[in-house]
Amino acid sequence: MQDKRTGRFVPTVGEWSDKRGYIYVNISTLQDPHLRDLCRESVLNRSYGKRRSGAIYKHHIEMIKKVLRPLVKGEVIHHIDGDPGNNDPSNLILLSQKEHLKDYRELAYENKRLKDILDLHKISYK
């Protein structure tokens, strides 16, 4: 859900966010039993930290709905606009870890080039 005043995405009942802005959802609060099962299987496949608490990232749920299967280890869901709270399916893309790292390496290279150009022309960027 999006806050009309600030424009930021905020959690609803059964959800909470971490300090980075990623929204978690308690799997047991999901209404659709098939989706609940796919989410539980996805959490077991991926073996990430919140497994014991019965929680899953909201963007993982949205991707599971999109691809109609559990996620597997090595798959990364990328937020196209960079906002971890914007879990609209049109803002999410499923990548392999290799593809995701490649995108970030290219971005880091472009940022370094931009900083070098700004430094050359003595333009502050901080």
- For the chain, 126 residues long, give each residue's pLDDT as a single digit of tens: 555 665 655 556 678 888 888 999 999 899 999 999 999 898 888 765 545 568 899 999 999 999 999 999 889 999 888 889 899 999 999 998 888 788 777 766 777 776 777 777 777 755
122 lies in some domain: no
- In this predicted structure, what is the pLDDT of residue 54? 82
Any domain includes 78? yes
Residue 116, domain member (yes or no): no
The number of helix segments (H) and strand segments (E) in the chain equals 3, 5
59, with CB counted inside 10 A (0-12, 13-18, 19+), is buried
Tell me the one-letter amino acid at 75.
E
Tell me, what's the pLDDT at 13?
65
The torsion angles phi and psi of 2, rounded to 5 degrees, stand at -105, 130
Residue 21 domain-assigned?
A: yes
Q: Which two tokens stand for residue 38?
A: 């796919």
Under 8 Å between Cβ of 3 and 10:
yes
Q: Give pTM, 2 decimals.
A: 0.72
Contact 86, 65 (CB under 8 A): no
8 falls within a domain = no
Q: How many domains does the chain have?
A: 1
Domain-embedded: residue 63: yes
Establish if 108 belongs to a structural domain.
Answer: no
Q: Give dist(CA 42, CA 34) in Å, integer.
A: 12
What pLDDT, on the 0 to 100 scale, is given for residue 35?
Answer: 95
3-state SS assignment for residue 55: strand
Report pLDDT for 75. 92
Residue 91 lies in a domain: yes
Which residue range is the domain that position 32 belongs to? 15-96
